[in-house]
């Protein structure tokens, strides 16, 4: 007799997905990204990737993330350059719109680096 997938496996997978989403959300909040709590796991993953892309661009341009990133969700202490500061998500800004702004900000940092 062949058995189908057990519901226990599905529940575990859902629990894992939820836990990973909560971990990503926690990291994003720590980096100053405002979240509504309604973001899907895919949106959270996309946000994390976009933030990491922005941070890599800042580092390649010589920025120091220790001074350019917000302190516990606040404002940066003394940014090297205002373009090195992670853009803030606007109230009720949809994730795709914020992702686009993050991408544009990373491109602006890269542009600045290439003109040095």
Model pLDDT for residues 7-49, shown as the tens digit of each residue: 566 788 888 888 999 999 999 998 889 999 999 999 999 999 9
Coil, helix or strand at residue 44: helix
User: Using CA atoms, how far apart are residues 55 and 32, in angstroms rounded to an integer?
Assistant: 13
- pLDDT (0 to 100) of residue 12: 81
CA gyration radius, the chain: 18
User: Using CA atoms, how far apart are residues 116 and 111, in angstroms rounded to an integer?
Assistant: 9
Global pTM reads: 0.77
* pLDDT tens column, 52-99: 999 999 999 988 776 555 555 555 556 667 888 899 999 989 999 999
- pLDDT (0 to 100) of residue 17: 85
């Amino acid at each position: 007799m062949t058995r189908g997938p057990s519901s226990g496996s599905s529940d575990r997978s859902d629990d894992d997905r939820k836990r990973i989403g909560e971990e990503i959300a926690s990291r994003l909040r720590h980096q100053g990204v405002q979240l509504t709590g309604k973001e899907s796991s895919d949106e959270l993953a996309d946000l994390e990737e976009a933030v990491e892309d922005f941070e890599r661009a800042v580092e390649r341009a010589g920025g120091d993330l220790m001074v350019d990133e917000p302190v516990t969700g606040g404002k940066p202490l003394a940014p090297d350059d205002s373009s090195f500061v992670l853009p803030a998500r606007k109230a009720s800004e949809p994730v795709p719109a914020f992702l686009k702004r993050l991408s544009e900000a990373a491109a602006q940092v890269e542009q600045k680096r290439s003109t040095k």
